[in-house]
Each structure stands twice: as C-alpha cells, then as structure tokens.
Structure 1
Amino acid sequence: MSNQTSIELQKDGRTLTLYVIRSARKSIGLQMREDGTVLLRIPNRLSARALQDFLTREQTWIWQKTEQMQSRIKQRETTGAIPVEQLSSRDLDQIKEKIGSRVAYYSKIMGVTVGRITIRNQKTRWGSCSSKGNLNFNYQLYYLPEELLDYVVIHELAHRRHMNHSADFWAEVEKYCPDYKVQRKRLKEYKLV
C-alpha cells in the first residue's frame, strides 16, 4: 500500500510497530490483523503534528487496546483440523461426503439448486457461492460442531436467492437457522489454520 508508513512506540523495553494508513475517513481507528499486525487508520488530512500529538496523548490506550486484541486472537479456538497435507484420500472423501450431505439436505428444503461443490483450504473463508451456484467450503468445517457447519451451508445456499448480505438475505438465513446470530458469533471464535 503506497499510503502506508510505520511508526514505533516504546514501552518497558518493548517496541510496538504501528502501520499508519491514510484514507478518506473522518476519525482515527486502531485495528489488529490475525497475524498480529497493528494498523492505525487515520484521515488523509491529519497533519504529522496532530498524529504525533495523538500518539503521545493516547499511548497508554494504544498499548492497552493492542494487548486486548492480541489476547483475543490467542484465545480463539482452532478448528482442531488435521493439516490438509496430512489428510488421506479417505479423510478427504469423508469430509466431502459430510459437507455434501448437508448441502443436499438444505438445498432440498430451501428449494434451491447448486452447481459444483468444492472443498478447499482457504485461509480466510469458511465458504463462498458463485453467481453460477458453485459452492466452495473450507475443509475445516468438518471438524466444527454440526450446528456451525449447518449455519455455513445455509448461509451459502441463501446466496442462491440473494447474492448479497441484504436484509432479505439475512431473513432467508433466519428461516432455516433461527439462531443464526448466535452461530455467526460462535463461528468467529474459531480461527482457520
């Protein structure tokens, strides 16, 4: 990113690197990526002096917030999945069968058709649906509680009616997964490996 610079903060012999990203926003925001990278998003018009004043004034808050975010990331459960390169063809067949059977079950009761079903090892997604109705699922879903697998399947099948995340889309999800908000929140507690 060309609009990215970095700043280092020091505390008790520790160094925190903040990657500063300027954009058309109105406020300053702090974000931590899954890999631990800390982003400080700031308005384009914020002067270097104003940024330095903010860092000086809010240094304690920045350290606290960063430590909280790091703790939250560490606490997230892993799926318990076997690394994909260690899976046998039998394991892969079982994974495909389990996910495929949930897709078949829900596509029938939801009254939607699907194209190809692919099982992959995406680093950031549990599933996706193309405009042609092809579905991709992360193999790690196999290792999650069944209700989370079902939520992801229902979510992707709802895209067969609404290729967005509109109110209509979420209403469709809710018809088949009334507690989808709970499942969605639970799913965020897991990290892909």
Structure 2
Amino acid sequence: MILWNFFCITEGKTIDTITYELIRSDRKTISLQVKPDGRVIVRAPQRLAKYRVVRFVKDHEDWILKQQKKLEDYRETRHVITDEERRDGVQKALKIFPERTAYFAARMGVNYGRITIREQKTRWGSCSSAGNLNFNWRLVLMPPEILDYVVVHELAHRKEMNHSSKFWAIVEQEMPDYQERKQRLKELGGQFI
C-alpha cells in the first residue's frame, strides 16, 4: 500500500491536498473510490504510468471533494447513540411497540404473532410469514408518526406479503399520508442507523 498526495494548485498556491491510496493489480481499468471515512482509493493496472494516475485523480478532483464533503456533513448530523440511550430506548420500545401494534392491528383487522425488538443496521421492521414482527428500537428516537408508519407497514404485510399496489392500498387506507411519513423516515433514518 502506497499513499500519495495530489496537490491542487491555483496561481502557484496549494489550495487542497488529496491524499490517496494507490492499489495496483492485474485489472484493465482505473477506478476511484471514496470510503466512508473519507479515504480515497485509486485502483490501477500494474503498468499504468504514474503521471496517468495523477491526471485521473486531478480530473476527478471536484467529485472527490464533493464526496468527502457529503461524508463530513453526514458524520456531523448523525446522532451517536450512548449506552444509556440504548438501554432507555430498548425499554421504551418494549412498551410502545406492543401498544401501537395492538391498536393498529385491531383497526386493520389483522392478527400477528410475537413482537421482537432488535437493533438492525439496515431495517426498521419486518414481518415473517408466520406473522411475527420485528421492530428496530431506534424508531423510538424518532417522531411518533414515523414509528406508527412502520407498525402499519409491517401489519399490512399480514394481508399482502409483498410491496404490490394492493399492499400500498392497505397502508394508505389506514394512513392516507403514508408517503410523507415514508419520506420523513428516509430523511431522518440516516441519523440513527
């Protein structure tokens, strides 16, 4: 592994430094990757001249800086959950999810199996074919209408185990503004996952 610095120069002054890791292999093309921690990885063919690698990085300078800025902004807005918040959140979830699920199940005319509270990395909820429901405890950190949307979404799977138009009609019947809630979950979700 070799780290290289690429200096962006304007009127004789260095304005930015792009440090990148160059990985050479038997590949045929050159590629660029910005890792979640902001590191830049350049993968290049074994025999590609160094000046061509530098040119490639320079040609993609704006894109690299834009990606690094996005990642930095994301890290600043992301909520870091403490152990105390986790403990309290799980306890709150163990109380809230059974209440909200029972409420909406009665309104929607569906039944369900057991409710499990989890800490999933990429899911807010799920429904098994046996009717068991899983919910991500982190939903209790969001506004109640978002939590309710996920509960209704999973209960709708008790009637339709897919995301067809029939499924979304079931969700909409119970929650006419579900699309706004779904969008809000996308916007807020990245802060808590």
Q: Same fold (TM over 0.5)?
A: yes
The number of equivalent residue pairs is 168
Counterparts of 1:120-159 in structure 2, within 5 Å, are: 120-159=118-157
> Counterpart in 1 of 2:73?
71
Q: Give the unaligned 5+ runs of structure 2.
A: 8-15, 24-30, 42-47
The whole-number CA distance in structure 1 between the counterparts of 2:32 and 2:180 is 27
- 1:100 and 2:77 matched: no
Q: Is the 8 A contact 1:119 1:139 kept in 2?
A: yes
TM-score by structure 1 length?
0.66
5+ residue gaps, structure 1, are 1-6, 20-27, 41-47
Name the stretch that deviates more: 154-163 or 57-66: 57-66
Which residue of 61, 64, 68 maps to 1:62? 64
> Among the aligned pairs, what percent are the same residue?
39
Instruction: Return the match for 1:13 from 12, 17, 20.
Output: 17
Q: CA deviation at 1:70?
A: 3.4
The alpha carbon displacement at 1:115 in A equals 0.8
Q: Give the whole-Å Cα distance in 2 for the aligned partners of 1:29 and 1:180.
A: 38
Distance 2:78 2:167 in 1: 28
What is the rounded CA distance, in whole Å, between the counterparts of 2:169 and 2:22 in structure 1? 40
Backbone CA RMSD of aligned residues: 3.9
For normalisation by structure 2, the TM-score amounts to 0.66
Q: 1:67 to 1:18 in 2, by over 3 A?
A: farther
> Matched residue of 1:165: which SS?
coil
Deviates more, 1:174-183 or 1:162-171: 162-171
User: Do 1:79 and 1:144's aligned partners in 2 also have CA atoms closer than 8 Å?
Assistant: no
Q: Which amino acid aligns with 1:65?
A: Q
Which residue matches 2:12? none
Q: Structure 1: which amino acid aligns with 2:107?
A: I
